[in-house]
């Protein structure tokens, strides 16, 4: 009878805890922090001393502190220290927003800190974090693991040696040997911040992002990638590299869903194609991956790779896209004969198995165009160049210089073959001027059209047709002037040696006079429209980067 009475007293004492009653000595100063017993199949109370007063709970344990509810197979609660230890199928429900699971829990009620071990799992309804050991602060909703963990959020998986979960913002900061994998990307680095709600990955240390689908590699030190919307912004001189090119810029932004991209601050595009390759430099480059096009502004510079003699082109705006797309919207004249085009294409195919794609490209340059190479230089209002036929088309008062020869007209076509000038064709108001050594005299040739042929990058012959006019300063073997001849004809051919006129041939309706050097007014001999534009001539590739 006495034992039954003692058992009933203990049970009532235990159930008294479950209804929120408190001992006179165990809960002073614990308002809002006391751990209350809600349910258990079995209870056991034991008081050892003033600091150790335990309640043992077994079977479907359920206790609560504020809005945090704890579940477990069994638990021991120190009422005086407000410390809970739970064992087996531990579950922490933090205000129905964050759920944490484990096999073992030690919870400090005063500090509201939980230490979990063995098969720990934390979820906020979006992502699931698993680890073997986790510290969770219920006050600020921060979870920390230091011995390796994994986060799975929809199709993304992240692993690291250290991790810090922030429940209020749903941010997770991963540190040391970070690896993130989703169906499209693999991300590696030392530090990565990821939000399970927005699915945005933020980079704060050297990071590599490899796109599995496009075989694209991104190297960055700062930025973010929106995994859900496929958008990214990168800073601190990031690099993007794929099978065809390398892009570098101080800042870059791109949208994989639309294919649009923008690269700002010393942006550099470098093509990997050795046969039809080109580089582009500008302070702003915008790209469209779906149309394979780009537009460069703010001091743009185009480098068309021509072996040792690279061609540099600058303008206010540079644009590049696929030639096959352009021909769908406007007529692009085919200005090479078929045999030459076939030869060019065969050589390209032999040198590059992707030649059909790489040669399907054109460039346009608008306003203040400048061209520089070791073989020739040019200026003009606008330019069109196609990799398919390797012909530069210069429009609106263009001027081309080749050694000591200046050639101008309304429109100029410059043909390139085997990485060197092959032919130059000038339409309307054509004029060629050649400065005679270091003198103040100029050989001149004018016609409706002008056609020049090059050999090894140097002018070999030149033909003027249509009201052709010529001024030629003849010299002897000692390079002394013999006289100056001014003539007109239907056609005038000039033959060059080492880029200097050596012989002039007139065809049909020749009229001309030879004048002695000393008794001639050389200014009056100049052909109408004569003007020596040496001040406009680009002197070096570095000059193309200087804009007034």
CA angle 409, 457, 302 (to 5 degrees): 70
The total of other beta-carbon atoms located within 10 Å of residue 42's CB is 13
State the Cα–Cα distance between residues 258 and 45, nearest whole angstrom: 66
**C-alpha angle with apex 426: 420 to 429, nearest 5 degrees?**
150
CATH among 2.40.37.10, 3.40.640.10, 2.60.450.10, 2.60.34.10 for 365-545: 2.60.450.10
Cβ atoms of 152 and 197 closer than 8 Å: no
Q: Which two tokens stand for residue 341?
A: 């085009």
Q: Residue 57 belongs to what H/E stretch?
A: strand 52-65
Name the helix (H) or strand (E) containing 358: helix 355-358
C-alpha closest to that of 175 among 157, 191, 186 = 191
CB 246 within 8 A of CB 263: no
Predicted local distance difference test score (pLDDT) of residue 32:
53
Residues of each domain in the chain carrying CATH 2.60.450.10: 1-122, 365-545
77: β partners: 55, 84
CA angle 473, 478, 479 (to 5 degrees): 25
Long-range contacts from 499-504, C-beta under 8 angstroms, 24+ separation: 499/402, 499/403, 499/404, 499/405, 499/458, 499/459, 500/404, 500/434, 501/434, 501/443, 501/472, 504/470, 504/472
Of how many residues is the chain composed? 548
DSSP-derived secondary structure for 406-469: EEE-SEEEEEEETTEEEEEEEEEEEEEEEE-TTSS-EEEEEEEEEEEEEETTEEEEEEEEEEEE
Residues of the chain with pLDDT under 70: 1-32, 275-276, 306-308, 333-358, 419, 546-548
> What does the pLDDT read at residue 135?
95
**CA-to-CA distance for 513 and 519, rounded, in angstroms?**
14
Dist CA 200 CA 189 (whole Å): 16
SS3 343: helix
Q: Which of 450, 457, 462 is nearest to 502 (CA)?
A: 462
Q: In terms of pTM, does the model score above 0.85? A: no
| Chain-centroid distance, C-alpha 73 | 54
The pLDDT tens digits of the residues spanning 288-308 come to: 999 999 999 999 999 987 666
| Token duo for residue 511 | 């009229």
Q: Which two tokens stand for residue 431?
A: 């004029």
331, 332, 335, 338 alpha-carbon torsion, rounded to 10°: -90
Q: Are 451 and 463 in contact (CB under 8 A)?
A: yes
Give the three-class secondary structure for 294.
strand
Closest-CA residue to 23 (of 39, 45, 5) = 45
As a CATH number, domain 1-122 is 2.60.450.10
What is the tally of helices (H) and strands (E) in the chain?
5, 40
- How far apart are the C-alpha atoms of 177 and 63, rounded to whole Å? 38
Residue 128 and residue 150 in contact, taking contact as beta carbons nearer than 8 Å: no
């Amino acid at each position: 009878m006495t034992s039954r009475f003692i058992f009933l007293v203990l049970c009532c004492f235990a159930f008294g805890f479950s209804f929120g009653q408190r001992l006179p000595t165990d809960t002073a100063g614990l308002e809002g922090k006391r751990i209350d017993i809600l349910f258990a199949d079995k209870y056991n109370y034991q008081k050892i001393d003033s600091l150790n007063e335990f309640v043992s709970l077994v079977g479907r344990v359920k206790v609560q502190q504020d809005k945090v509810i704890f579940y477990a197979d069994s638990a021991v609660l120190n009422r005086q220290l407000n410390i809970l230890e739970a064992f087996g199928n531990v579950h922490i429900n933090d205000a129905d927003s964050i759920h944490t699971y484990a096999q073992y829990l030690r919870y400090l009620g005063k500090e509201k800190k939980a230490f979990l071990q063995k098969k720990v799992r934390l979820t906020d309804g979006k992502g699931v974090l698993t680890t073997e050991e986790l510290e969770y602060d219920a006050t600020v909703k921060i979870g920390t693991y230091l011995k390796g963990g994994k986060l799975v959020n929809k199709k993304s998986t992240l692993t690291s040696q250290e991790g810090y979960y922030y429940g209020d913002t749903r941010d997770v900061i991963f540190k040391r040997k970070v690896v993130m994998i989703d169906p499209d990307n693999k991300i590696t680095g030392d530090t990565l911040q990821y939000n399970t709600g927005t699915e945005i990955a933020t980079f704060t240390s050297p990071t590599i992002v490899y796109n599995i689908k496009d075989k694209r590699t991104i190297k960055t030190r700062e930025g973010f990638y929106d995994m859900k919307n496929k958008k990214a912004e990168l800073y601190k001189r990031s690099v993007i590299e794929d099978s065809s090119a390398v892009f570098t810029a101080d800042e870059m932004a791109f949208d994989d869903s639309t294919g649009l991209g923008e690269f700002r601050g010393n942006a550099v595009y470098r093509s990997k194609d050795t046969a039809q390759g080109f580089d582009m430099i500008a302070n702003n480059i915008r790209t469209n991956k779906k149309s394979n096009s780009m537009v460069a502004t703010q001091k743009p510079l185009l480098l068309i790779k021509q072996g040792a003699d690279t061609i540099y082109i600058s303008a206010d705006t540079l644009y590049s896209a696929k030639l096959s797309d352009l021909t769908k919207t406007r007529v692009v004249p085919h200005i090479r004969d078929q045999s030459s085009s076939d030869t060019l294409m065969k050589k390209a195919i032999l040198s590059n198995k992707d030649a059909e794609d790489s040669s399907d490209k054109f460039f346009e340059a608008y306003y203040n165009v400048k061209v520089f190479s070791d073989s020739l230089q040019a200026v003009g209002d606008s330019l069109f160049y196609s990799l398919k036929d390797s012909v530069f088309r210069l429009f609106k008062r263009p001027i081309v210089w080749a050694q000591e020869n200046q050639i101008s007209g309304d429109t100029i076509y410059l043909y390139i073959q085997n990485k060197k000038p092959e032919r130059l064709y000038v339409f309307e108001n054509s004029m060629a001027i050649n400065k005679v050594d270091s003198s103040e005299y100029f050989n001149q040739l004018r016609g409706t059209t002008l056609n020049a042929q090059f050999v090894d990058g140097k002018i070999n012959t030149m033909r003027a047709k249509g009201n052709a006019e010529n001024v030629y300063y003849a010299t002897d073997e000692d390079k002394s002037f013999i006289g100056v001849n001014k003539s007109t004809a239907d056609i005038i051919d000039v033959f060059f040696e080492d880029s200097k006129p050596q012989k002039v041939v007139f065809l049909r309706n020749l009229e001309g006079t030879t004048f002695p050097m000393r008794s001639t007014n050389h200014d009056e001999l100049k052909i109408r429209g004569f003007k020596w534009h040496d001040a406009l001539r680009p002197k070096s590739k570095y000059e193309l980067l200087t804009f007034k």
